[in-house]
């Protein structure tokens, strides 16, 4: 690749990242303003101050109270055996080195035939989980694309960003419920003429969680585009990730929408309510990266993978668990 072509490709990727970063900042800012506005409607400026303090405290406690190991236990995930998964470990080591992570995240296998993968934790201490179904259905090249996507989420700190968005959304929803409940309690004052509550404020508080959810979904789609771009750059193989996306779409419809936030559920049409972008749109963007990645393609031998956790298909039927997780 010539120096001029490399410079053009680097500028192309930088433009993608800057656009996605700008969208993320705008969406997070919009959610924060919405949350603050709800607090202001209920408690004036003192409410804005205390809701921001509460947000900071919840984020601080949440990041330290939920280690990756606990999440893996909730999914009954087991550490991947290096004996059977040595090539996957090699791929993760190469991707982590290219991404500049402090250390390669450990890989866990979830005993489920659904096609799913996700990352959890922080940049300093993260883990990646893949289901048995994913290991059986995808080729090693496609798995490398998925792992690159997840490592990109870790490297871009998407897990913390989406945790922030989720916390803001939940606080907004809690204030909405509290406001509506207080309005119901004060209904008798409507008949005595002592009603001093604004119906406009109640309506805004009632609609705030829906607006916040739309902003959160938009943020999720933006981070997915960015993870696709960087994941394909790390593997040097955008076609591998594109093939994985198409196969996941074919086998499980839109189950790719649970790759990073497994507790969320897919909302069908319209596309505005999807947590992840349309698969064909993602594939089209990946195809634009052919020959434009900064790293060479990882050399992969397509070795057969045996059952890595020792469970048969019956015990791996997807179902709703007591923890509220579907796998």
**Residues involved in catalysis:** 150
Give the C-alpha separation, 134 to 284, whole Å: 23
Helix, strand, coil percentages (3-state) for the chain, rounded to 5, are 65, 5, 30
Task: Please give the DSSP secondary-structure letter assigned to residue 126.
Answer: E
The tokens for 311 are 């469970």
Compute CA distances 32 → 22, 179, 216, 219, whole Å. 15, 18, 11, 13
- Coil/strand/helix, residue 80: coil
Q: Are the beta carbons of 184 and 48 closer than 8 angstroms?
A: no
The tokens for 231 are 């994941």
Phi, psi at residue 279, to the nearest 5°?
Answer: -60, -45
């Amino acid at each position: 690749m010539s120096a001029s072509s490399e410079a053009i490709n680097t500028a192309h990727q930088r433009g993608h990242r800057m656009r996605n970063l700008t969208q993320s900042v705008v969406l997070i800012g919009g959610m924060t303003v919405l949350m603050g506005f709800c607090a202001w409607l209920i408690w004036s400026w003192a409410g804005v101050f205390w809701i921001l303090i509460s947000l900071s405290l919840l984020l601080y406690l949440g990041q330290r109270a939920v280690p990756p190991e606990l999440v893996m236990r909730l999914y009954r995930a087991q550490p991947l055996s290096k004996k059977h998964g040595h090539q996957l470990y090699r791929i993760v080591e190469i991707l982590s080195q290219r991404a500049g992570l402090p250390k390669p995240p450990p890989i866990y296998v979830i005993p489920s035939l659904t096609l799913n993968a996700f990352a959890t934790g922080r940049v300093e201490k993260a883990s990646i989980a893949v289901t048995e179904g994913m290991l059986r259905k995808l080729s090693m090249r496609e798995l490398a694309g998925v792992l690159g996507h997840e490592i990109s989420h870790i490297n871009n700190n998407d897990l913390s960003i989406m945790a922030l968005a989720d916390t803001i959304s939940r606080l907004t929803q809690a204030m909405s419920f509290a406001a509506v409940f207080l309005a119901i309690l004060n209904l008798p004052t409507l008949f005595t003429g002592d009603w001093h509550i604004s119906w406009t404020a109640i309506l805004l508080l009632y609609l705030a969680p829906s607006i916040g959810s739309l902003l959160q979904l938009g943020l999720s789609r933006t981070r997915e585009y960015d993870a696709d771009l960087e994941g394909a750059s790390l593997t040097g193989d955008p076609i591998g990730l594109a093939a994985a996306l198409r196969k996941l779409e074919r086998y499980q419809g839109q189950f790719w929408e649970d790759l990073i936030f497994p507790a969320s559920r897919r909302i069908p049409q319209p596309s505005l309510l999807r947590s992840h972008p349309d698969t064909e749109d993602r594939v089209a963007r990946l195809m634009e990266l052919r020959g434009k990645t900064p790293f060479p393609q990882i050399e992969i031998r397509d070795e057969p993978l045996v059952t890595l956790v020792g469970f048969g298909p019956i015990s791996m039927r997807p179902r709703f668990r007591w923890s509220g997780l579907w796998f």
